[in-house]
Amino acid sequence: MTRGEANFPRSTEIAVGDELPPFELAVTPTVIVAGAIASRDFMPAHHDREFARGQGAPDMFMNILTTNGYVSRFVTDWAGPEAMIRKIAIRLGAPAIPGQPLRFSGRVAEKREAQDECVIELAVRAANELGDHATGTVVVTLPRA
């Protein structure tokens, strides 16, 4: 489970314009339900297809806590275990529904040195065939290399 630090970029190696390794999540009912219950969100729209459709949604859909969790994972899978997420600011769009893979992409938009940290601002996007599920900004810090 523990990963070597060698796989993660040092703050000095990160530059504006760098792309994060893309990540594709195969969204299934299990993925949606697992996230909803782990986040203690029992809203039927996140586990009951008939209920969700009755409310006008195309299918049961991922809850926002899970979306934020996957955005966080997407960023720290790249930045490594010393990374600290300071902000996840997203605009919510198309629902994440079963059968539609969610594709995460990200780019370093800004980088600045603070006291003993490097502050990195990322432009992130998670999209499926319906359109943009979540777009926005993640601010993450790394210890100065």
Partner 1 sequence: MAGEAVDELRERLEAYVGKPMGPPAVAPDAVNVPMIRHWVDALDDRNPVYLDEAFAATTRFGGIVAPPAMLQTWTMARPKIEGIAERGGAPDEMEFDNPILPLDEAGYVGTLATNSELEFVRYLRPGDQLHLTTEVESISNRKTTALGQGYFVTWVTTYMDAEGEVVGRQLFRILKFDPSTIGATR
Residue 26: closest CA among 75, 80, 62, 55: 62
Residue 32: closest CA among 6, 74, 76, 66: 66
Distance CA 18, CA 9 (A): 11
- Kindly state whether residue 120 participates in binding partner 1, applying the rule CB under 8 A: no
- Which range touches partner 1 (CB under 8 A), out of 10-18, 66-74, 103-111, 118-126? 66-74
Min dist CB 105 to partner 1, Å, is 18
Binding track, positions 81-100, relative to partner 1; x by CB under 8 A: xx-xxxxxxxxx--------
Distance CA 127, CA 104 (A): 7
Min dist CB 99 to partner 1, Å, is 19
- Kindly state whether residue 39 participates in binding partner 1, applying the rule CB under 8 A: yes
Min dist CB 102 to partner 1, Å, is 12
Grouping H, G, I as helix, E, B as strand and the rest as coil, residue 81 is: coil
CA torsion 30→103→82→138, rounded to 10°? -110
Evaluate whether 84 touches 120 at the Cβ level (below 8 Å): no
> 74 phi and psi, to 5 degrees?
-55, -40
- Kindly state whether residue 14 participates in binding partner 1, applying the rule CB under 8 A: no
Task: Give the one residue of 44, 58, 105, 111 binding partner 1; rule: CB under 8 A.
Answer: 44
Min dist CB 109 to partner 1, Å, is 16
Contacts with partner 1, residue ranges (CB under 8 A): 1-3, 34-35, 37-45, 48, 51, 64-66, 68-73, 76-77, 81-82, 84-92, 143
